[in-house]
Chains A and B, each alone.
Chain A
Amino acid sequence: MDKIRSSNKIDLILSHYKNPQRSDLSKILLAIQAEFGSLDQDIIKKVSSFINISSTEIYGYASFYSMFYLTKPGKYKIRVCKGTACHVKGSKNIIDAIEKYIDIKAGESSKDGLFYLETVSCLGVCALAPVMMIDDKTYSRVNSMMIKTIIDDIRETENINGR
């Protein structure tokens, strides 16, 4: 049932492209990802036959860029800056602390599906290093102590809302 429903949604998105060009690939994948959160094998196969590019090539394309997710990321996306300014002010400690505290590695999602951790090269707020973002909120001058509080806060909100 679920499968049929999601298949219909994909069809709907694809129907916007009457005469699909190769250069539409990026926009199509983004639109589908916006709907489903990530691009799985079934999606890639479907897009492949629609736009007439092999699945391998689409996979190669999507896996090249950080904007596309091939597995579903956790609900909260944590992005820790690993740029130079942040690096010299100890961003590695921040990453270590998060990895330990939530028990994930950069590029992974937590088992409870709550967090996704990635590192980025510069968030453009170097003056306030070290910097991290959770979804679209920026945290500046982060230290390992703050990590515990921030994560605990999120966990608590999620518990209250009963997910």
Chain B
Amino acid sequence: MEDNKKEQLVVCSNSGCVSSGSVDVFIKLLDRVYNDPDLSDKYVVKKGGCHGFCEVGPTLIAGNDKVFYIKLTEEKIDDIIESHLKNGIIAEKYCFYDLLHKKRILFYDEIPFIAKQNRLILKDSPFYDPEDIDDYIAGGGFKALEKVLANDNQIEICRIIKDSGLRGRGGGGFHTGDKWLKQAEQISQPKYVICNGDEGDPGTYMDRSLLEGDPYRVLEGLLIAGYATMSNIGIVYTRNDYDLALSRIKSAIQKLYERGYAGNSVMGKQFSFDIKLEIAPGAYITGEETALIASLESRRGNPRVKPPYPIENGLFGNPTMVNNVETLSNIRDIILNTDAYSKFGSDESKGTKLLTLSGAVKNSGLVEMPFGITFNELINEIGGGMLKVSKLKAIQIGGSSGTILPASMIHEQISFENLKKFNASIGAGGVVVLDENTCIIELAKFYIEFSEHESCGFCVPCREGTQKILNILNRIIDGNGKIDDIEKLKNISMVMYQTSLCGLGKEASNPILGMLHYFEDELKEHIIHKKCRAGVCPKLVRYKIEKDSCIGCGACTLNCPVNAIVGTHGQYHTIDGELCIRCGQCYKVCPKDAITRS
């Protein structure tokens, strides 16, 4: 039988699943199927892009029915081959078990995490091989590029993008169509389009997933951007430690040249476009477009004042348009299906957004939803609710420039316009769900520590402000806070917001403002009562083993990273307060709840 008529066995090959061992699983399956004529006549084994449910990887989507096998190992593959592939009986015990409804779910399309999503740009990628250009073409790839190239009126294409309402997904939410029109107007040559994949916000990985899982979609978007804006050089810029993404993009670019989708006269048309891959040298700030350009010129990644915008004065002084990876991934669908696209989303935020859901939810992973859904839908329907018995305390959205929202906002919509009302933003799309075991003060410190570390040090408000805030928060966390610290935090945050040079400094205080606004009680508790209700701040908690409850099992000793717990087996154990780093491991592992926190 020809390969394309065979049933498919798709093993996820993105970073998440690779780290859980999907390469071994893939090789094993490939080996068994190809060495068995009966099987290889019926099935083809291939790698697939990311389905977003990284938590249950490595996974296999088997056959036309799309049976979804999770948490695979080489042994499980043997079982699945015997049972499913040879005897037609689904190996149910390796399928997903839905704890909420207490039932097994066998098919990919019925997994709640996936079924409840509304996928546009992630729709096909789990099923095609990110390393195979023919697979992409077979799935309708480059149709959008072809359609665009047939249109000699480039401005019209920019207008289509503008009318679609697409807004940049890199954080700013600028209207993409406006940017394209502006770039199209520039007359000097060369003109650059940069695909910004320097994702660095803690807790986000949508760009990585796209670059790894669907590199041709990103590149098709870049090509269309190049044609529509009459630019001639495209640059894909991504992190030096995104190994898999780098190698996939590199080979994809090479294939584009071989097949005539890049280089001189793209698809035989009068349009030449060169695509290069550039490696970001590793600094969060190079995600900001002017710093990005500086790094490409081998300079320190210091942002500069805008205007002039990069479109007017960019790389080596030439017109340069920067678009985010996810933004470019939307282009193909807009071109092929403009009307359908605009039906997705809310009034001022069109289309879908990739969100990375993590923290204290049952199902974490990469989610695609139209703008306008509520946190409730995201956390409880797709995320499957809170982990174990914990209760929702707060939601963090937007990474280091985002804010911390209280649980009471669970019914708010996720869109550019709605979040703005609460001084929050979607940022890159990281959503972290927090339960009562999270200390908001400590979390705010975590973000400011990140910004302090990543501040390029060029402008004073950002460099000094982040340090000052960090000092104050450290003081509070150590139990030495003073009541006027609250006022100081407010003042510094405002100064930073008003006077910093780039977005990093302007927005670094957002988590602090969120904390001050919504969690003032908790902050005051730290300052006045020297109490951390979540039991996180080390100086404000003590661990103690209750003599009567301890059975001397040794679980705590085994898990203590600093060997601070002593005791003979079967006897009451004690914690050495001097050595203890108050990590709380013992508290978590004790089977008898004999360890108390005060």
Contacts and interface: CB of A to CB of B under 8 A. Distances in A.
Are A and B a genuine interacting pair, yes or no? Answer: yes
B54 A82 contact: no
B241 A140 contact: no
Interface string A83-114: 11101101011001100110000000000000
A25 B359 CA distance: 41
B299 interface: yes
B396 interface: yes
Contact of A64 (B16, B199, B301, B316): B301
Interface string A60-72: 1100111110000
Contact of A82 (B202, B300, B365): B202
Given A84-B432, A138-B19, A97 B242 contact: no
Contacts, number: 144
A22 B301 CA distance: 15
B205 A122 contact: yes
Contact of B359 (A65, A85, A125, A140): A85
Contact of B202 (A84, A136, A145): A84
B364 A65 contact: no
B19 A25 contact: no
Among A25, A87, A90, A101, which residue has the most Cβ atoms of chain B within 10 A? Answer: A87
Nearest to A24: B298
Contact of B281 (A65, A97, A126): A65
Interface stretch (A1-9, A11-19, A127-135): A127-135
A68 B281 contact: yes
B581 A88 contact: no
* Among B242, B358, B434, B446: residue with most chain A CB under 10 A: B358
Contacts of A123: 15, 241
Contacts of A66: 281-283
B248 interface: no
A53 B55 CA distance: 48
Contact of A88 (B20, B282, B366, B432): B432
A17 B468 CA distance: 45
Interface in A50-66: 60-61, 64-66
Given A84-B202, A87-B202, A136-B243, A61 B358 contact: no
Contacts of B57: 128
B558 interface: yes
Contact of A97 (B282, B432, B561): B561
Contact of B438 (A23, A88, A140, A145): A88
Contact of B399 (A84, A93, A136): A84
A23 B432 contact: no
Contacts of A24: 298
B200 interface: yes
B89 interface: no
B595 interface: no
Contacts of B583: 90, 92-93, 96, 144
Contact of B200 (A92, A97, A122, A140): A122
Contact of A61 (B15, B296, B300, B438): B300
B171 to A, nearest CB: 15
B317 to A, nearest CB: 12
B18 interface: yes
Contacts of A138: 15, 18-19
A93 B561 contact: yes
A41 interface: no
A96 B581 contact: yes
Nearest to B559: A145
Nearest to A141: B20
B20 A140 contact: yes
B392 interface: no
A84 B44 CA distance: 39
B49 interface: no
Contacts of B53: 127
B218 to A, nearest CB: 15
A99 to B, nearest CB: 10
B208 interface: yes
Contacts of A97: 561-562
Nearest to B430: A84
B574 interface: no
Nearest to A140: B19
A126 B356 contact: yes
B561 A88 contact: no
A85 to B, nearest CB: 4
A60 B300 contact: yes
Contacts of A61: 298-300
B204 interface: yes
B158 interface: no
A147 interface: yes
A53 B360 CA distance: 50
Interface string B177-205: 00000000000000000000001111111
A139 interface: yes
Nearest to B301: A64
Interface in B293-325: 295-301, 316
Given A26-B281, A138-B19, 17 more contacts: A25-B298, A26-B298, A65-B282, A66-B283, A67-B281, A83-B202, A85-B359, A88-B443, A92-B583, A93-B583, A96-B581, A121-B202, A124-B15, A124-B199, A127-B54, A138-B18, A140-B16
Interface of A: 22-26, 60-61, 64-68, 79, 82-85, 87-88, 90, 92-93, 96-97, 100-101, 120-129, 131, 136, 138-140, 143-145, 147
- Ordered nearest first, which 7 A-B pairs have the shortest CB separation? A138-B19, A124-B205, A66-B282, A84-B203, A83-B202, A85-B358, A65-B281
10 contacts: A22-B298, A24-B298, A83-B202, A84-B358, A85-B364, A124-B205, A127-B358, A128-B54, A128-B57, A140-B20
